[in-house]
Amino acid sequence: MTGFIRDFMEKMMPQPGGIDCGGVMAQLYEYLDGELDDPATMEKIRVHLEKCRRCYPRYNFEKAFLHFVSDQGHASAPPELRRKIFQTLLEEEGPH
Amino acid sequence: MGEEASEKQKEFESEALVHLDTLYNVALRFTGNASDAEDLVQDTVTKAYRAWDKYEPGTNCRAWLVTIMRNTFINQFRRRSKQPSQVQFDAVEDTSVFEQVQDRDPEGSFFRFIVDDEVKQAIQELPEEFRIPVVLSDVEGLSYAEIAEILDLPVGTVKSRLFRGRRRLQQRLYEYAMEMGYIR
């Protein structure tokens, strides 16, 4: 199938999920963050992403970015700080 | 001093101190250095302990602690440094990195080559207005509503700061990946 016919057919097809690409992109972060309250909207976006070859790669890229940041950004409290904090709490309690 | 830890202490340890890593992580992002971060965590924990009777059991302890940290930071630490200026819109926020890499690396594989220190550095370079929402959301996994409450902002503002902060962070990491030759 040539690109022209494919583009034409895509134009003739209804928007996947009943939502257009602009609507999906505007809510992409909320979708990825699990912040959409309306289950119907979530489902529309899910279906759209599954079928849309323009939106899916964008979604996939943003998802990779967010996973990456959440994996890499952590720092653990140093043991010495932990020790100091327990000491502070003991001092806060004062003599009994 | 009693041999046994008091009830209050035990409760505080099991409900509040389990969030110590989060507190340290957020403190690092607020202050930008380990020594101030440790001071900020200590001050926050001490205040939280003194105010423990005001904490309602079963509510969101982590958000409660981070709120105390934010207030402590504003009142004590920020005086030492300049007030952050209002962040101007940067043209960098106009385009997504995806637009720039879609033909070469649409899956964002280049992210995987970027080392931890570089990511931390890139996060630290974000203006505070974006840095804190990004850390609370993307590193610590807090919800928009929790972040809005902690930062005393409308949820819509949190959303837009997250959007802008993520764009800036992506762009910075992309430029670094280009410099290092992880992406051509």
Instruction: Find the chain A residues whose C-beta atoms sit closer than 8 A to any C-beta of B.
Output: 29-30, 33, 35, 57-58, 60-62, 64-66, 68-70, 72-78, 81-82, 84-85, 88-90, 92-96
CA-based nearest distance B170→chain A, Å: 8
Q: Comparing C-alpha atoms, which of A59, A65, A35 is closest to residue A47?
A: A59
Among chain A residues, the shortest Cα distance to B49 is held by A89
Of residues B88 and A59, the one with the higher pLDDT is A59
pLDDT band at B111 (very low <50, low <70, confident <90, very high): very high
Query: For A76-91, how does the pLDDT look when each residue is reduced to its tens digit (9 = 90+)?
Result: 899 999 999 999 988 8
Percent of chain B whose predicted confidence (pLDDT) is above 70: 92
DSSP string of B53-68, one letter each residue: GGSPTTS-HHHHHHHH
Q: What phi and psi values does residue B105 have, to the nearest 5 degrees? A: -150, 65
Nearest CA in chain B to A83: B42
- Residue A24 pLDDT level (bands cut at 50, 70, 90): very high
Give residue B171's identity as a one-letter amino acid code.
Q
Q: In this model, does residue B104 exceed pLDDT 80?
A: yes
What distance in Å separates the CA atoms of residue B47 and residue B41, rounded to the nearest whole number? 10
Task: Record the tokens describing residue B125, joined without a space.
Answer: 């370079």
When scoring B112, B158, B164, B168 by the number of chain A Cβ atoms within 10 A, the one with the most, hence best to mutate, is B112
Mean pLDDT for chain B overall: 90
Range with lowest mean pLDDT among A80-94, B18-32, B81-95, B152-166: B81-95
* B74–chain A nearest CA distance, Å: 21
CA A63 remoteness from chain centre: 6
Whether residues A92 and B34 touch (CB distance < 8 A) is answered with no
How many angstroms separate the CA of residue A88 from the nearest CA in chain B? 7
Give A33's contacts in chain B (Cβ within 8 Å): 137, 143-144
**In this predicted structure, which of B31-35, B44-48, B77-81, B102-106 has the lowest mean pLDDT?**
B77-81
Residues A49-68 have pLDDT tens digits of 999 999 999 999 999 999 99
Long-range pairs of A23-30 with CB within 8 A, sequence gap ≥ 24: A24/A48, A24/A49, A24/A52, A24/A55, A25/A55, A25/A58, A28/A58, A28/A59, A28/A62, A29/A62, A29/B159, A29/B162, A29/B163, A29/B166, A30/B159
Find chain B residues with C-beta within 8 A of A36's C-beta: none
Residue B31's pLDDT band (boundaries 50, 70, 90)? very high
Residue B81 has pLDDT above 90, yes or no: no
Residue B1: pLDDT over 50: no
The pLDDT of residue B73: 93
Inter-chain residue contact B38 with A81, CB threshold 8 Å: yes
ipTM score = 0.85
Compute the average pLDDT of residues B1-9. 70
Residue that wins the pLDDT comparison between A10 and B35: B35
Model confidence at B58, pLDDT cuts 50, 70, 90, reads confident
Mean predicted confidence (pLDDT) in A4-24: 77
